[in-house]
Chains A and B, each alone.
Chain A
Amino acid sequence: MMVDALQVFLQGLFGSVFPLVWVLLKIVLIIAPLLLCVAYLTFWERKVIGWMQVRIGPNRVGPWGLIQPIADGVKLLLKEVLIPTGSDKSVFLIAPMFAFAPALAAWAVVPFNDTLVLANVNASLLYIMSVTSIGVYGIILAGWASNSKYAFLGGMRSAAQMISYEISMGLALVVVLMVSNSLNLGDIVHSQGKGIFADYGLGFLSWNWLPLLPMFAVYLVSIVAETNRAPFDMAEGESEIVGFHCEYSGMAFAVFFLAEYANMILVSTLTSLLFLGGWLSPVGFLPDGLLWLFVKIAAVLFFFLWIRATFPRYRYDQIMRLGWKVFIPLCLIWLVVVGCWMMSPLNIWK
């Protein structure tokens, strides 16, 4: 095998620091494609929304407009980063990093198939929840450090929204944890491969989305609100409301943008792993594999773009009402329902 040969070669080259080099290499192997996906997700989004609105979308730079994200990146890199007077300079510059770093750090425990995972820890889902909860700092700090009332109010608004939906997301995940009896993402995927339908070769009916359908719906809407995407995009509702990053320019702004898209990919991956069976094949006669995970992630990402082109923006009080008064009670009730279900003879998760 090529991988083994490379491993032996590097072992000879680096000696005792080899494990460190090997882990760094794996990190690069995760981060580099991720950033490429982020760049082309922005392109795909503009294309999809263009088609849905009977436009063409970007088609000028390169064949079919394929170089467009690179051109955008170069443009943003060359622009000046303005720092407003009276702003807290260090916090102003740390804020975008706070927003972006968690979106990357969470990938440390994401499994891609049975063996392909950087760190296979027991509490991997808990780790992801805690790491992603840090992302909210980027938003509040950006709002505060900008020394602008608009940015400050925008930061408050987005942060309150993210914290509220984190709760309903967390409660939906609790139900998933109950039925899969593990915090390890790999084990959660494996637990979805068992069941009556899976025995008939209809694996996709055994995945968590069907028995936990209300939680799947809650989770799907919550991740949209959590990543500040349309129709819950209070952070950048350009036409009516000013967001937390209104004082940012150039690459500092671009990092917030990258964070948003990296977070989208992350939550799509989590949805695929937790509810859509991860790398498991939907039907019995096809083999499981990495490809299925990518197809599912792409489908969830398409859902993000689709609803952005479809739904009008929610009003802020409606967003908060949906989170606190609809989703959280629904999750709590379903928690009890699933608990009773698991204790009853009809339990399907043994």
Chain B
Amino acid sequence: MEFKTFVFYFFSAILVFAGLRVITSRNPVHAALFLVLAFFSASGVWMLLQAEFLAIALILIYVGAVMVLFLFVVMMLDINLDRLREGFWSYLPLGSIIALLMVAEMALILGGNYLGLLESSVPQASAEASNVKAIGRLIFTQYVYPFELASVILLVGIVAAVALTQRGKRKNKSVNPSQQVFVKAADRLRVLQMPAEKRD
């Protein structure tokens, strides 16, 4: 067996195991951590495909930022497992239909080569050319409108999140830092000159 194949199966085995643990782990924080492991292994597999930019971006964005915020939320929630399991049997039919649909979709894509759906084969990137440069050039030339559109959608998401959490003016006694930085000693402190007095 070639070494590359071994590495691929190694990462894939960890990926599948971590994916299984994400849905079977009883502790939600552990589940989130297994999801991190799954991202890591997936990034390893992408690295094998020489998609270095995607692999690093996966770790930078999903592991470094998204999952951290995810963990924040999961850690602070008081999750009651018994209540989560209550409606398991009633939701099962709907869940299995969705699962079957997803499996069918994945089969169409993964089996695309056999079914003749994909016209071109997967483009082979040369190891020498910089992945990042190629992606950057494509984003700002061929795909510039979808790219700008995506950024506008993200901006809308940010505005929406701020609007949802904004509850009018703050009623607490917090200080205003932009005024605070302009404070001078003379505003807070008055030095009095007092002549010394003689004791009777």
> Could you tell me if A123 and B29 are in contact, using CB atoms closer than 8 angstroms?
no
Q: In whole angstroms, what is the CA distance A163 to B70 when docked?
A: 13
Chain B positions within 8 Å of A166 at CB level: 64-65
> Could you tell me if B132 and A123 are in contact, using CB atoms closer than 8 angstroms?
yes
Q: In whole angstroms, what is the CA distance A229 to B75 when docked?
A: 26
User: How many chain-B residues does the 8 Å CB contact rule pick out?
Assistant: 24
Q: In whole angstroms, what is the CA distance A137 to B66 when docked?
A: 12
Q: In whole angstroms, what is the CA distance A121 to B52 when docked?
A: 10
Residue-wise interface mask of A (113-136) relative to B, using a CB-CB cutoff of 8 A (1 in contact, 0 not): 000000001110011011101101
> Could you tell me if A133 and B75 are in contact, using CB atoms closer than 8 angstroms?
no
Contact with B60, one of A122, A133, A136 (Cβ below 8 angstroms)? A133
For chain B, residues 29 to 64, give those with C-beta under 8 angstroms from any C-beta of chain A.
29-30, 33, 36, 52-53, 56-57, 59-60, 63-64
Contact with B132, one of A122, A130, A133 (Cβ below 8 angstroms)? A122
Which residue of chain A is the closest to B58 with respect to CB atoms?
Answer: A130
**B121 beta carbon closer than 8 Å to chain A:** no
Shortest A21–chain B CB gap in Å is: 16
Which residue of chain A is the closest to B71 with respect to CB atoms?
Answer: A140
Which residue of chain A is the closest to B59 with respect to CB atoms?
Answer: A130
Q: Among A127, A130, A152, which residue has the most Cβ atoms of chain B within 10 A?
A: A130
> Could you tell me if B130 and A130 are in contact, using CB atoms closer than 8 angstroms?
no
Q: Main secondary structure on chain A at its contact with chain B?
A: helix
Q: In whole angstroms, what is the CA distance A318 to B177 when docked?
A: 7
Contact with B72, one of A88, A122, A159 (Cβ below 8 angstroms)? A159
> Could you tell me if B131 and A122 are in contact, using CB atoms closer than 8 angstroms?
yes
> Could you tell me if A144 and B29 are in contact, using CB atoms closer than 8 angstroms?
yes
Chain B positions within 8 Å of A91 at CB level: 29-30, 33
Q: Among B33, B56, B65, which residue has the most Cβ atoms of chain A within 10 A?
A: B56
> Could you tell me if A137 and B36 are in contact, using CB atoms closer than 8 angstroms?
yes
> Could you tell me if B131 and A136 are in contact, using CB atoms closer than 8 angstroms?
no
**A75 beta carbon closer than 8 Å to chain B:** no
Contact with A163, one of B29, B36, B60, B68 (Cβ below 8 angstroms)? B68
Chain A positions within 8 Å of B131 at CB level: 122-123
> Could you tell me if B60 and A126 are in contact, using CB atoms closer than 8 angstroms?
yes
Which residue of chain A is the closest to B180 with respect to CB atoms?
Answer: A318
Contact with A134, one of B52, B53, B63, B177 (Cβ below 8 angstroms)? B63
**A240 beta carbon closer than 8 Å to chain B:** no
Contact with A321, one of B30, B52, B71, B177 (Cβ below 8 angstroms)? B177
Residues of B that sit less than 8 Å from A by CB: 27, 29-30, 33, 36, 52-53, 56-57, 59-60, 63-65, 68-69, 71-72, 75, 130-132, 174, 177
Leading 7 A-B pairs by shortest Cβ distance: A133-B64, A130-B60, A130-B59, A122-B130, A126-B56, A130-B56, A144-B75
Residues of A that sit less than 8 Å from B by CB: 88, 91, 121-123, 126-127, 129-131, 133-134, 136-137, 140-141, 144, 152, 156, 159, 163, 166, 183, 317-318, 321
Known: A130-B63, A130-B64, A133-B64. 11 other contacts (CB 8 A): A88-B27, A122-B130, A126-B132, A130-B57, A130-B59, A130-B60, A134-B64, A152-B75, A163-B65, A166-B65, A183-B130
